[in-house]
Structure 1
Amino acid sequence: MTAQLLDHTLGNLASRIPGATRVFHTFHLDFCCGGQKTLRQASLERGLDAQQVEEQLLSLNPDEHPEQDWRSASDDQLIEHLLERYHDVHRQQLPELIRLAARVEQVHGARENCPRGLTDLLLGMLQELENHMQKEEQILFPMIRQGQNPMLGGPISVMRFEHDQHGDALEKVILLTNDMQPPANACNTWRALYRGLDELRRDLMQHIHLENNLLFPRALGEEMQNG
């Protein structure tokens, strides 16, 4: 990795630099669905100083951000990680977040800063994500394990499109919750809800990143940009 990072893609940087995803979260840079954009392009679109982001990336100490390098994992290992760390976890996260959101809307619905509509939004996310994960578990992942590369283009294209839809839904959650920042006098349930939503955001973005920027390109025999 050269010192010049501006023309590397966000997905490439997220894969190669331990701690990079934390920097991207700080600057609200989309390294999962928007992982093919360069740091320069993504920063420009968000009105950010790309060199400031680059400086923070270059200042990261790998020893302070120990992360497994999934580029060296086999397809089987990466798929098992995705299933256990993300598919199973999302199925635990969303029902609890829906319960908390419903409680907050029920009790605080009259308050101006109440995230009205969040419960329905999360219910939709749960349904869409469950359908998506089932397609990966029953169709795509078995195909990747079997090495059916010529047939993978269609299913992967569908999954990437659905990833974009998940990203759009996440953006709606962010807007509805003031970037998961509870009001100063929020109750414990409200605060727990927003903490959980922030955790879901980080998990879902990492989940999509590992698929869009590592598993899928490798299954298709594509070289990672700036690799």
Structure 2
Amino acid sequence: MTTLNRTLGEIARDLPGATGIFHQYKLDFCCGGDITLEAAAAKRGVDGAMIAASLDALRERSQAADSLAGAPNEELIEHILNRFHDVHREQLPELIRLAQRVERVHGNRPDCPAGLAAQLENMLAELESHMAKEEQILFPMIARGMAGMAAAPVAVMRHEHDDHGAALEGVLALTNDITLPADACNTWRALYLGLATFRDDLMEHIHLENNVLFNRIDGRMGGADRG
């Protein structure tokens, strides 16, 4: 059964954090919890597919966190490379293309996310630089058990993560928190659905590095080395 076909009550019961997403879209999972997400979204006039994607990403994050918290460093690094580095390199060029098209076609509308393509281009450049430093310098050091030498690069990566978070806030500001206009075209819908997925992926990416892998290097919150 897909997320769209499950009731709000079931989702709220089974997925920690789902109620926050429901509150964001003003979906009644309490008294109205016996209707499907698809029906509730249609009734409210919001994009059910986008909400389902956010819920699915939340579920994946929860499952990934459970399974990876105790994984060895090498396994965690491999997951980060495959699940996030490779994926971001696919996501952002397509999002830039979609944003350029939306801005070109709908630039005369006040709700058009003007400047979004440029913001995403900057994010891609910054992420590429950041990921290259991790792939070429930091991750090999961690994999070789050079925790002492890795502490300084980790501090730099944490700072750059803060910059990525600020850039993501800029995307949210330009898109009204990725809220679609009621009459949005298919390209606009595809753009915002992709942005929601990218937002969730980037947040999970940063979380796994900052709060799991990097904690093992710099000892924050009692992190222990798992080389």
Flag whether TM exceeds 0.5 (same fold): yes
Cα offset for 1:200? Answer: 0.3
Q: Is the 8 A contact 1:213 1:224 kept in 2?
A: no
Query: How has the CA–CA distance of structure 1 residues 217 and 178 changed in structure 2, closer, same or farther, with 3 Å as cutoff?
Result: same
Partner of 2:156: 158
Partner of 1:11: none
Cα offset for 1:124? Answer: 0.2
Partner of 1:140: 138
Distance in 2, matches of 1:89 and 1:206, equals 12
Query: How has the CA–CA distance of structure 1 residues 156 and 89 changed in structure 2, closer, same or farther, with 3 Å as cutoff?
Result: same
Partner of 1:74: 72
Partner of 2:165: 167
Distance in 1, matches of 2:94 and 2:138, equals 28
Cα offset for 1:79? Answer: 0.1
Distance in 1, matches of 2:121 and 2:133, equals 19
Partner of 1:88: 86
Cα offset for 1:25? Answer: 6.2
Query: How has the CA–CA distance of structure 1 residues 128 and 208 changed in structure 2, closer, same or farther, with 3 Å as cutoff?
Result: same
Query: How has the CA–CA distance of structure 1 residues 79 and 24 changed in structure 2, closer, same or farther, with 3 Å as cutoff?
Result: farther
Q: Which amino acid aligns with 2:137?
A: I
Deviations 1:28-75 (A, max 9, x none): 8xxxxxxxxxxxxxxxxxxxxxxxxxxxxxxxxx9xx64442111000
What TM-score do you get using the length of structure 1 for normalisation? 0.71
Task: Report 1:33-48 matches (<5 A).
Answer: none
Q: Which structure exhibits the higher relative contact order, with contacts defined as CA atoms closer than 8 Å and separated by 6 or more residues?
A: 1
Gap runs ≥5 in structure 1: 1-17, 29-61
What TM-score do you get using the length of structure 2 for normalisation? 0.71
Deviations 1:3-48 (A, max 9, x none): xxxxxxxxxxxxxxx95565666678xxxxxxxxxxxxxxxxxxxx
Partner of 1:105: 103
- The number of equivalent residue pairs is 173
Could you say what the CA RMSD is over the residues aligned between the two structures, in angstroms?
2.2
Task: Report 1:121-132 matches (<5 A).
Answer: 121-132=119-130
Partner of 1:217: 215
2:111 alignment partner, SS class: coil
Q: Which amino acid aligns with 1:135?
A: K
Distance in 1, matches of 2:175 and 2:124, equals 18
Distance in 2, matches of 1:121 and 1:95, equals 12
Gap runs ≥5 in structure 2: 1-13, 25-58
Query: How has the CA–CA distance of structure 1 residues 27 and 146 changed in structure 2, closer, same or farther, with 3 Å as cutoff?
Result: farther
Q: Is the 8 A contact 1:100 1:190 kept in 2?
A: yes
Distance in 2, matches of 1:218 and 1:92, equals 29
Cα offset for 1:149? Answer: 1.4
Task: Report 1:3-22 matches (<5 A).
Answer: 20=16
Distance in 2, matches of 1:211 and 1:224, equals 15
Task: Report 1:114-125 matches (<5 A).
Answer: 114-125=112-123
Query: How has the CA–CA distance of structure 1 residues 222 and 27 changed in structure 2, closer, same or farther, with 3 Å as cutoff?
Result: farther
Deviations 1:174-199 (A, max 9, x none): 01101111100010000100000000
Matched, 1:185 2:204: no
Question: Radius of gyration: which is bigger?
Answer: 2
Distance in 1, matches of 2:22 and 2:162, equals 21
